[in-house]
Each structure stands twice: as C-alpha cells, then as structure tokens.
Chains A and B, each alone.
Chain A
Amino acid sequence: MNVLEIDGLTVALPAGRAARPLLSDVSLHVAQGEVVGLVGESGSGKSLTCRAALGALPPRASAEGSVRTVGDDVFALSARALRRLRSEKVGLVPQDPRAAVNPLYRVGDYLVEAVRAAGVPQAEARARAVTLLGDVGIREPERALRCWPHEFSGGMLQRVAIAGALAGRPALLLADEPTTALDVTIQAEVLSILLDITAQRSAGLLLVTHDLELAAAVCDRVYVMYAGRIIEAQPAASLFASPRHPYTAGLLHATPSLAGPVGRLEAVPGRPLGLDEAVPGCSFSARCPHVRPTCTEVVPDLVSQPGAGGIAVACLRADELRDELRRSGPGRADPDHPVLEEQPA
C-alpha cells in the first residue's frame, strides 16, 4: 500500500506581479515500509513537494493534480480533517529542532502537547510521552521530560522532535533535511533512529535532502528533482554507479570524494534554477554537457526505462548516454576507504 501518492502535481503562484510556476507534473509515491529520497538543489521544489504532502502550499498558490496522503486526498479535506491528518497520520521531522521546539516549555510539555493533539487522553499522555522518548533512544525518559530544550544538544533535541513526530503513530514520516543543522557524527545517529523506527512500524519515510550521497546511502529509492520537475527516479542501489540523467551524473562528479584522485572537480557550470527561470525545453539543457539542439525545444517526459526495475529518466538522450554516464572513477561509494573499527565495549 502506498502511504503517499503524488500524481501530476503542478503548482503555480497566481497570475499578476508574482506569477510563477513552482512545480510541474510531479509524481511520486512512497510505499509502506519504504524509505524514499527526494534530492535536489536550491529551487528544485523538493521542500515544496514535501509540504504538499501535508496539504500546505504557499499562500494563493494554485495546484493541479492529486496528492493522496495515507489514503486521503489532501486537497479535498476540510481544515479540520487536514489538522487530524497532520497530527495523527503523518509525522513531520523538522530541519532545525531548535526552531521547532519552543524553548519556553519543558521537553515534557512539548511532547504531551503533541500526544494530546494526536487524540491521546490527558491521563495517558505522559506515559505515552515517556514511551516515545524511549523509542528514540533517550535513556532516562522520565528525567528528560523535566528538562528544558536548551539543556539538550542539537542531536538530542532532534530525537525529541522525532518523538513528537511519532506522537500519532504516523503511517508516513516526512523529513525535510533532518540532519542538515546537525554535526556529521550526529547525523548518522539521528538517521539510524529514523530508519529503525520506519522499519519497526512499517511506516513510509520521505527523506528530503540536498545530499545525493546521503540519499543513496540510506534510501530504497531516490527521486532527483531539478527546476520543479522530477528528472530521474532510481533504486538507490544502482543510482550511484549508473546515474541516468546528466544532471544526476554531474552532481555525483561535482561532489568531492574521500577516495580517488585529488584535483580539479568536474563542476556543473551555471547555477541551479527554479522552474520560473527555466529555459525552454529541458530545463537542464543550459548546463548540460550532452546538450543537443532538440533538447532546447521539447520538455522531456519522465520515461520509465524498460527492463531494470523502477528506473525513470527525463532526458531525450537517456538511451544513448546510458553507458557514457556510468561512473568509472571511484567516488565516495568506493569501498576501498577506511572503515570504522568499532571500539570494544
């Protein structure tokens, strides 16, 4: 069963001074128990797509297409039903826990409020908050409930925020850059908690990130967005070695690696665009090293590739470029690099 199904979502700000398209024909799905990455740079529309899953669009934006979140058509829901959806069926993990958790209330108050909003009676709310903190790996939950947010490190506070997101036993978790504000060593911990919980509860997880390597490392499938469109969808396992869209390949090449030769990076020229600035035809054509005249005339559809499971690419030259884009040089994926030796307990 799919816990999130976005079909042909097109979003635009209304005509007038600020008229601009934001998303064009975005379709994606997250199945139960699946971890799906949504990757893109500034202006790609990845955060907007994530928020659309909650029925939250920019003010005055118009939307076409459908978004079904845990079985509900979010655009058809009443304000009240939408609130219920958000507090009970979907868990939102914030980017910056410091901004999401009110510093004037104790951690316990924050969690009890979230649990109450999910419909748990007052009498059981506190016990449920304790359970949730246990679930996210906080060792003395009773004590933690009495703490203030400022007494927690960023990583610990992100756990609290995750606990809050779990308050309604959600079937879908949305995490928009959940580790960007955290240190790298803490990123791993927070992610492992998110992944564990997703697996245990067989919920779906949509992980929105700018970090292609991160998505490839932890997700089952990855969607890559560029200028308001999905330009590639691929199982994470194969994405890394054989990216199919020139943009995806460009991103992987542009990322400095921990192994292999040191030297000039193969930068993608230009800068990432939003859909409103996109050139005619393929919006990546202006930056693409493989561009052909036809690329600037037709917007390529996201075409499912025959054979391999679940690969789709929006590139007119997808077939020709298939072998050329396959990565020869070692990247971060290269196993030939120092692996952590675990400390004896």
Chain B
Amino acid sequence: MTASGPDWALEVRGLTKTYGEVRAVDEVSFAVPRGGALGLVGESGSGKTTTARMVVGLERPDSGSVRVGGTACDRPPRGRRGRLARARAVQIVFQDPYLSLDPRVRVTDSLEEVLRLHGTGGARARRDRVGELLDQVGLGTRERQALPRELSGGQRQRVAIARALAPDPDVLVLDEAVSALDVSIQAQILNLLSDIRAAREIAYLFVSHDLAVVRHVCEDVVVLHRGAVVERGAATEVLARPTHPYTRLLLSSVPRQGWDPAAIGRARRALDTTTPAAAADPIPTQGALQ
C-alpha cells in the first residue's frame, strides 16, 4: 500500500494535523492507484474531511506528504503556475450543492471561467469543451444557461462535478458528495461517477460516512477513527469481514431488518471505555483511541 511508484495517482504518507490540543489527523497514510477509487470512511471527528482538505491544498499539514502522480504537493501552492499545476493534479466536489456554486454565476459561465484560467484558447473551443463536460454529467441544454438557484440539488451537484472535471485532474476528491442528496438522485450521481471513471483515467478519493455507498464506488477502503487509520483493505473484504471493533460497529449501525439499536449502543459505549478519559464520564470527550 505504501510502495512508491509511478502507478499511484495519489500517495499520502504520515499526514498529521493538530488543532490546539486535538490531533485531528494522526499519521494517516494511503495510496490510490491510477484510475482507482479509495473510500475514506469515518464519522464526524474522524479527520476524514481535514485529510481531504489537506490533499487538495486547502489546509497545510503539520507533517507528512501528499504526492499526486509522483509530484509532491505538500503545501498550499504559490504563484499562478503552482496553483494551476495543483488544480490539474487534484480537484474536489463538496457535500452541499447549495453552497458550492456561486449563486450569481450561470452554469456555462462557471465552467468557462475555469477553462479560460487553464488556457483553453478561443471562445469557440471553450464553448465546445463546456458542452462536452455538461454532456458528460448529463445536464440538458435547458439547464446550461440557468443560475444555481433554478436547479435542483442533484443538478447542482452535476454542475459541481463538471466544474471539477474542467481542469482535467488526475485525482478527484469527493467529500461526502452524495450525502445531501435524495436517495433516487444519489443513485444517479453514483452511476454518473462510475461512468466518468470508465471514460477517463481519473482516480477518486471518496470521503464518506456511508459504507454501502463506499462499497459501490470504491475498490479499496480506509477506515478512520479519531484521526487515525484503524483498518484498511479491499472494500468488499473489509465490509464483509471487518477486524477492528470500530469497523464492526460502523457496519452494524446501518439500519436493516431485525436491527437491534440497543445492542449497538452498548457496543459503542464499550468502544468508548477503551479510551481512559471517557470511561467514567457521562459526556464523551475527545481523545485519541490508542
């Protein structure tokens, strides 16, 4: 998993980030092969979002390294060339489609400005490319001139995906990208994501709390708990035969028939008591699981 080589689209090693006393991300390492998809699974406070933000350069890690296609991109890029190179390496799609588009910018314009920045020359060439991108994410001609507020959540998320694809990145980070969508829309977007991956060589870092979704999108999975990796492996394998108690807890928390919520509560408390600080405390406190 940590072997170095040109086959990795994204390689993260020993990534660490501390906020005050809290170790949000603790020595996290993983790698995504070219055209592969890795699920980064965890709950709030697991450090999954902080990890994603460090990968795209929105946060600076305290230590550790991020390499995309073998090139180091550890710190927020400086200068126009650095920014553009970083943008072509990795892009991101966020969770809430209502906040991730500028409310004043029309769909075509929001793609066009990215293309212009990345030097797609000529108005005509850009218009063609915008058309291609919107076709790829399944947006009809009617939606192209629309403002974000005229679109549904699913359509907005398609725009966000098209915008992220515009610089033609090697890696796409999807930060809970389908969590805010209705179930019927979520399935459409998940299918779209697999179509995109089939059509171009792009690797996904799929950040999510939803194990079933991760299982459908990703070949590999990394489970984060309180900032640290607790389990990793092939997605189907890990989800079928979890070894870490936390992964087991996560799995059993998914509602299904004959589900016993009370038993899950007991298991979660048992897991908490392995943390000394939380043992006698009715109020769960933040602490590292060791």
A–B contact (CB under 8 angstroms): yes
- Judge whether B252 and A338 touch: CB under 8 Å: yes
Q: Name the interface residues of B149-195: CB closer than 8 Å to any CB of A.
A: 152-155, 182-188, 190-191, 194
Q: Name the interface residues of A264-278: CB closer than 8 Å to any CB of B.
A: 264-272
- Judge whether A343 and B182 touch: CB under 8 Å: no
The residue that B251 contacts in the complex, of A154, A186, A258, A343, with Cβ under 8 A, is: A258
List, in ascending order, chain A residues with CB within 8 A of B213's CB: 256
Q: Which residues of B pack against A, CB within 8 Å?
A: 43-44, 152-155, 182-188, 190-191, 194, 209-213, 215-216, 236, 239-242, 245, 248-268, 270-271, 282-284
List, in ascending order, chain A residues with CB within 8 A of B43's CB: 183-185
Given contacts A250-B184, A258-B211, A341-B248, contact A192 B261 (CB under 8 A): yes
The B contact surface, by secondary structure, is helix
Is there a chain B Cβ closer than 8 Å to A80's Cβ? no
The residue that B212 contacts in the complex, of A191, A196, A255, A345, with Cβ under 8 A, is: A255
Q: Name the interface residues of A212-270: CB closer than 8 Å to any CB of B.
A: 212-214, 216-218, 236-237, 240, 250-251, 254-258, 262-270
The residue that B188 contacts in the complex, of A191, A192, A267, A343, with Cβ under 8 A, is: A267
Is there a chain B Cβ closer than 8 Å to A211's Cβ? yes
List, in ascending order, chain A residues with CB within 8 A of B248's CB: 338, 340-341
- In angstroms, how far is the closest chain B Cβ from the Cβ of A283? 14
Measured CA separation A212–B254 after assembly (Å): 12
Interface size of A by CB at 8 A reads: 67
Report the tally of A-B residue pairs with Cβ distances under 8 A: 176
- In angstroms, how far is the closest chain B Cβ from the Cβ of A310? 18
List, in ascending order, chain A residues with CB within 8 A of B153's CB: 42
- Judge whether B185 and A271 touch: CB under 8 Å: yes
List, in ascending order, chain B residues with CB within 8 A of A332's CB: 212, 254-256
- Judge whether B255 and A214 touch: CB under 8 Å: yes
- In angstroms, how far is the closest chain A Cβ from the Cβ of B9? 21
- Judge whether B261 and A188 touch: CB under 8 Å: yes
List, in ascending order, chain A residues with CB within 8 A of B194's CB: 264
- In angstroms, how far is the closest chain A Cβ from the Cβ of B135? 17
Given contacts A188-B264, A264-B194, A265-B216, contact A251 B255 (CB under 8 A): no
